[in-house]
Amino acid sequence: MFVGTSKEKFFYHNTLLCLVKALQGKNITVDLRNDSYVCGFISSVDGYMNISFTNAIYCDPQGNEYAFENLFIQSRNIRYVHVPEEVRTISMLATIRHELGYDKEVKPKKPVQKSRKAKKALQQHMQTVALLDT
């Protein structure tokens, strides 16, 4: 179960943040907006898709590599998150969907009963439309 603020929960349930969160504990590559990239082990992902890496390697646009024990990337700096080939995204999303409870059957809701006033207004409207057709 995801823990966070209501805004973070909204992002988790309505975006592909759940997929990035499922990559937690794996080595991945993240391309950044300044044409650099980071390779490393994801230690945590928060509800805004800020990513914390451990044992990360940062490669700048000139090709220089820098090793970091811990590295934090803000979500606004992320361009792409590379999903490793061995990760099966369809099955992962199905698992997440099941965990979130989207697989449960939805019971049909009872139809809303209209008031007499609304029914009468609708009936008058339909009579007016019928007169326009003739």
The model's pLDDT over 109-125, given as tens digits with 9 standing for 90+, comes to 777 777 888 888 888 88
Q: What is the value of pTM for the model shown? A: 0.70
- Write the pLDDT tens digit of every residue in 81-98: 999 988 888 888 888 888
Does residue 60 contact residue 36 with C-beta atoms inside 8 Å?
A: yes
Q: Quick one: tokens of 127? A: 């009579």
Its CATH architecture, for the domain 6-107, is: Roll (2.30)
pLDDT > 70 in the chain, percent:
94
Q: Side chain identity at 79, as an amino acid letter?
A: R
Does residue 7 contact residue 1 with C-beta atoms inside 8 Å?
A: no
- Domain range annotation of the chain: 6-107
Instruction: Round the CA-based radius of gyration of the chain to a whole number and report it.
Output: 25
